[in-house]
Amino acid sequence: MEKIEHIGIAVKNLEASNILFEKLLGVPHYKIEEVASEGVRTSFFKSGPNKIELLEATKPDSPIAKYLEKKGEGIHHIAFAVEDIVLEIERLKGEGFVVLNEIPKKGADNKRVAFLHPKGTNGVLVELCQEIKES
């Protein structure tokens, strides 16, 4: 893994949270994006070399809606940048980790993503992110 790509935070209200994080970080969000397949709207902030992703549910049965119902607002996942997501999935499976989606899917911020089950990572949902390169 190359670096921490971003930290994802589940929020109930994206607009209110954007105002809060703009005050907290001293910078405005740089992107709002909907990932319809996951039932989520995201907002991204940069803080130095780091990124924060806010996640708001758009459907009551989406993973973020279920997370908010169960745990409330807060840190949802930590994402790591990887050079080759397919190879990294195979490596991690070989190490005994449970991959929730073995075929990477399109995520927000121009990334292919896959997730590791939190039961095998001390309760932390881990996201693998690979930048989609234009060819």
Domain definitions of the chain by residue range: 3-131
CA 46-48-54 angle, 5° bins: 25
Average pLDDT over every residue of 36-45: 95
Evaluate whether 43 touches 19 at the Cβ level (below 8 Å).
Answer: no
Find the mean pLDDT for residues 40-56: 95
The answer to whether the beta carbons of residues 28 and 22 sit under 8 Å apart is yes
Q: Average pLDDT over the chain, rounded to whole?
A: 95
Domain 3-131 = CATH 3.10.180.10:
yes
Secondary structure (3-state) at 119: helix
Nearest to 111 by CA among 131, 126, 128, 127: 131
Quote the pLDDT of residue 35. 93
CA 64, 69, 75, 76 torsion-angle sign: negative
Segment 81-119, tens digit of pLDDT: 999 999 999 999 999 999 999 999 999 989 999 999 999
Above 80 in pLDDT, residue 134?
Answer: no
| Whole-prediction pTM | 0.90
pLDDT of residue 135: 63
Give me the phi and psi of 91, to 5 degrees please: -60, -45
What is the CA 31 to chain-centroid distance, rounded?
Answer: 14
Q: Please say if the pLDDT value at position 47 is more than 80.
A: yes
Residue 105 pLDDT: 94
**CA quadruple 106, 99, 115, 60: dihedral sign:** positive
pLDDT at position 43 is 97
- Kindly report, residue by residue over 56-76, the tens digit of the pLDDT: 999 999 999 999 999 999 999
